[in-house]
């Protein structure tokens, strides 16, 4: 097992240390693979309980949840050494930066669930955060519209749920729908007053700066490749440090190997999003669910037709699924997004049908829950695939809410991928899922509305991480 040698400052292992062919290799007891021993960087040796560690809390993942967690730790326990590792060359490159930017009210979520509690609380906090830090946002409200009679009971159930959560909701008939959205058609609707839009990428960037102001370090271009956990001591994490964006063409082509380094921490927080189940396995923990990536494809309304939509318009969701259906969103910059659907991606970061990663796809197909989801929901899935492959079918789905839209009005827009946790029995996890192992906290399901709820989620995860630190100190 790798020994714990003193380090000068949190993150020096990444900032200034590399391994070479002459480095001595030792074997990880958690992963069984060889891990390079890191030479101690030059600097002042830490003393006391932090001696031998590069940081107190290592956070894997620089999306909005990981950065919120770092920010929360620096506020709750000043002086705690926090290091965030993000494999991309900037924050919020995946789920955080590839969504419709909606601040969700929390109306959809089961009372007592983490989603309900954190979304309702998080929506108010997110508006305050954006206002305080000058981040573009707007509380527009939204309509949830029933277009078929069989949807009316579900719409009425949402009204009751909204009132349980203390969310301001009002019932609308067809003429009142037209007052809000003249081009939208429906039998009935509810108006939800606390829904809005913001720039979540800008929020994540601000959280990173605030965490740094509190003493945290954020390192981009660093991917976790192995974890060695020592009971009672902490974790040693091997990372590959990628060439900087804009580096030489040889490096960009992958012919220059990534530098490797080892970071030692007293506790680790796994906020790796699409890769969270793999990171949990690297620690030696067995996640209760696996990630199945669902791509959400979007269109934008042609700029000449943006007047068709004033604000936010959603269909009545099917409670059997954690997806909200194709909706209409006027974004913070004025354009109108339409989508997303939900189709299986052929890679964890499979943003189009051309992106296929056989090893990742094989891991998804090896999960028994994948096949049970497919058998249980094949009819729904077939409809989603048809709307993915046929613009005409997608347009027809949109026309249920917006009859005047045509195929020519829809312009392809960047897709996102949802990290959806699925249990072994095929159940789609419909709440945030946070688990703990020795010296580790794992965020294993945090899709929408995690961006809305990121501030309270960050405090929750931070509290668990600080408790893991206390356990290490005992």
Instruction: State pLDDT tens for residues 284-304.
Output: 999 999 999 999 999 999 999
- pLDDT for the residue numbered 244: 67
- pLDDT for the residue numbered 51: 66
34 pLDDT band, cuts 50/70/90, is very low
256 pLDDT band, cuts 50/70/90, is low
Contact call for residues 190 and 159 (beta carbons, < 8 A): yes
49 pLDDT band, cuts 50/70/90, is low
The 3-state DSSP class for residue 141 equals coil
> What is the average pLDDT across 168-186?
97
DSSP string, 276-289: HHHHHHHTT---SE
Instruction: State pLDDT tens for residues 18-31.
Output: 333 233 334 343 44
Q: Which residue has the higher pLDDT, 29 or 147?
A: 147
What is the chain's Cα-based Rg?
23
The 3-state DSSP class for residue 439 equals coil
Tokens of 390: 């046929």
Report the distance separating Cα 288 and Cα 444, nearest Å: 9
Q: Residue 191: which H helix or E strand, with range?
A: strand 188-192
Angle between helix 114-133 and 454-473 (nearest 10): 110
- pLDDT for the residue numbered 215: 98
Question: Which bin fits 244, alpha (ψ -120 to 50), beta or left (φ > 0)?
Answer: beta
Q: Which residue has the higher pLDDT, 9 or 309?
A: 309
Nearest CA-CA partner of 434 in 276, 231, 319, 236: 276
Q: Which residues contact 49 (CB under 8 A, 6 or more apart)?
A: 266, 473
Kindly list the distances between the CA atom of residue 126 and the CA atoms of 13, 54, 200, 283, 445, in Å, as whole numbers in the listed order: 34, 32, 10, 32, 20
The 3-state DSSP class for residue 309 equals coil
Contact call for residues 341 and 326 (beta carbons, < 8 A): yes
> What is the average pLDDT across 372-390?
93
Domains of the chain: 12-39+53-94+202-271+446-473 (3.50.50.60), 291-429 (3.30.9)
pLDDT above 50: residue 225? yes
Q: How many other CB atoms are found less than 10 A from the CB of residue 311?
A: 20
> What is the average pLDDT across 465-470?
94
94 pLDDT band, cuts 50/70/90, is very high
Cα angle 54, 59, 60; round to 5: 115
Q: How many other CB atoms are found less than 10 A from the CB of residue 373?
A: 22
Lowest mean pLDDT across 31-45, 89-103, 174-188, 293-307: 31-45
Report the distance separating Cα 434 and Cα 461, nearest Å: 8
The 3-state DSSP class for residue 446 equals coil
> What is the average pLDDT across 62-89?
97
Report the distance separating Cα 236 and Cα 226, nearest Å: 8
- pLDDT for the residue numbered 441: 98
Signed CA dihedral, 458, 471, 431, 83: sign only:
positive
Tokens of 189: 């609707």
216 pLDDT band, cuts 50/70/90, is very high
Q: Output phi, psi for 113, to 5 deg.
A: -80, 160
- CA atoms in the 13 A half-sphere facing the CB of 324: 25
The 3-state DSSP class for residue 290 equals strand
pTM: 0.88
Contact call for residues 304 and 471 (beta carbons, < 8 A): no
Cα pseudo-dihedral 264, 270, 271, 275, rounded to 10: 110
pLDDT above 70: residue 11? no
> What is the average pLDDT across 109-138?
97
321 pLDDT band, cuts 50/70/90, is confident
pLDDT above 80: residue 258? no
pLDDT above 90: residue 107? yes
pLDDT above 50: residue 2? no
Report the distance separating Cα 91 and Cα 102, nearest Å: 19
Q: How many other CB atoms are found less than 10 A from the CB of residue 126?
A: 26
Report the distance separating Cα 104 and Cα 117, nearest Å: 12
The 3-state DSSP class for residue 201 equals helix
**Cα first-last separation, the chain:** 22
> What is the average pLDDT across 172-189?
98
Q: Which residues contact 362 (CB under 8 A, 6 or more apart)?
A: none
Q: Across the chain, what does the average pLDDT equal? A: 88
Tokens of 330: 């006027």
Taking the mean position of all CA atoms in its chain, how far away is CA 45? 36
52 pLDDT band, cuts 50/70/90, is confident
- pLDDT for the residue numbered 472: 77
> What is the average pLDDT across 69-91?
97
191 pLDDT band, cuts 50/70/90, is very high
Can you name the residues that pair with 411 across neighbouring β-strands?
A: 300
pLDDT above 80: residue 102? yes
Nearest CA-CA partner of 434 in 458, 470, 416: 458
- pLDDT for the residue numbered 473: 73
> What is the average pLDDT across 95-106?
93
> What is the average pLDDT across 413-434?
96
Kindly list the distances between the CA atom of residue 454 and the CA atoms of 63, 117, 191, 196, 204, in Å, as whole numbers in the listed order: 10, 12, 24, 15, 10
Q: Residue 159: which H helix or E strand, with range?
A: helix 152-164
Q: How large a percentage of the chain has pLDDT more than 70?
A: 86
Go through the chain and tell me how many residues it has: 474
Nearest CA-CA partner of 400 in 450, 344, 327, 318: 327
Nearest CA-CA partner of 216 in 53, 69, 436: 69
Report the distance separating Cα 363 and Cα 351, nearest Å: 18
Q: Are strands 34-36 and 25-27 parallel, antiparallel or unpaired?
A: antiparallel
């Amino acid at each position: 097992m790798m020994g714990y040698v003193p380090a000068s400052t949190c993150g020096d292992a990444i900032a200034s240390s590399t391994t070479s062919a002459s480095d001595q290799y030792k074997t990880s007891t958690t992963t069984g693979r060889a891990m390079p021993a890191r030479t101690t960087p030059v600097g002042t040796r830490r003393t006391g309980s932090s001696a031998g560690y590069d940081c107190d809390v290592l956070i894997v993942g620089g999306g909005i949840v990981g950065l919120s967690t770092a920010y929360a730790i620096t506020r709750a326990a000043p002086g705690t050494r926090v290091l965030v590792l993000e494999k991309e060359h900037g924050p919020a490159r995946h789920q955080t930066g590839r969504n419709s930017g909606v601040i969700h009210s929390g109306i959809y979520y089961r009372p007592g669930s983490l989603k309900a509690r954190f979304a309702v609380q998080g929506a108010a906090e997110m508006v305050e955060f954006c206002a305080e830090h000058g981040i573009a946002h707007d509380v527009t409200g939204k309509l949830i519209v029933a277009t078929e009679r069989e949807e009316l009971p579900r719409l009425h159930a949402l009204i009751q749920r909204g009132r349980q959560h203390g969310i301001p909701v009002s019932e609308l008939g067809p003429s009142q729908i037209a007052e809000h959205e003249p081009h939208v058609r429906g039998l009935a609707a509810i108006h939800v007053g606390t829904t809005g839009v913001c720039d979540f990428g800008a929020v994540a960037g601000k959280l990173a700066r605030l965490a740094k102001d509190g003493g945290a370090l954020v390192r981009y271009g660093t991917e976790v490749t192995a974890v060695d956990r020592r009971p009672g001591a902490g974790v040693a994490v091997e990372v590959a440090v990628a060439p900087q964006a804009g580096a030489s063409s040889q490096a960009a082509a992958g012919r220059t190997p990534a530098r490797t380094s080892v970071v030692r921490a007293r506790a680790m927080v796994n906020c790796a999003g699409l890769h969270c189940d793999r990171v949990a396995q690297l620690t030696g923990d067995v996640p209760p669910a696996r990630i199945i990536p669902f791509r959400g494809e979007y269109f934008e309304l042609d700029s000449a037709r943006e007047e068709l939509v004033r604000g936010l318009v959603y269909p009545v969701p099917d409670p059997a699924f954690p997806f909200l259906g194709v909706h209409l969103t006027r974004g913070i910059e004025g354009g109108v997004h339409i989508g997303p659907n939900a189709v299986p991606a052929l890679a964890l970061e499979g943003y189009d049908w051309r992106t296929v990663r056989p090893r990742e796809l094989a891991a998804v197909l090896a999960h028994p829950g994948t096949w049970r989801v497919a058998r249980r929901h094949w009819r729904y899935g077939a409809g989603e695939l048809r709307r993915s492959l046929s613009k005409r079918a997608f347009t027809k789905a949109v026309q249920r809410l917006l009859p005047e839209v045509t195929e020519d009005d829809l312009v392809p827009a960047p897709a996102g991928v949802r990290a959806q946790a699925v249990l072994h029995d095929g159940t789609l996890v419909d709440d945030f899922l946070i688990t703990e192992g020795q010296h580790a906290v794992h965020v294993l399901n945090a899709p929408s509305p995690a961006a809305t709820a990121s501030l309270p989620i960050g405090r929750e995860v931070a509290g668990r991480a600080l408790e893991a630190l206390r356990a290490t100190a005992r």
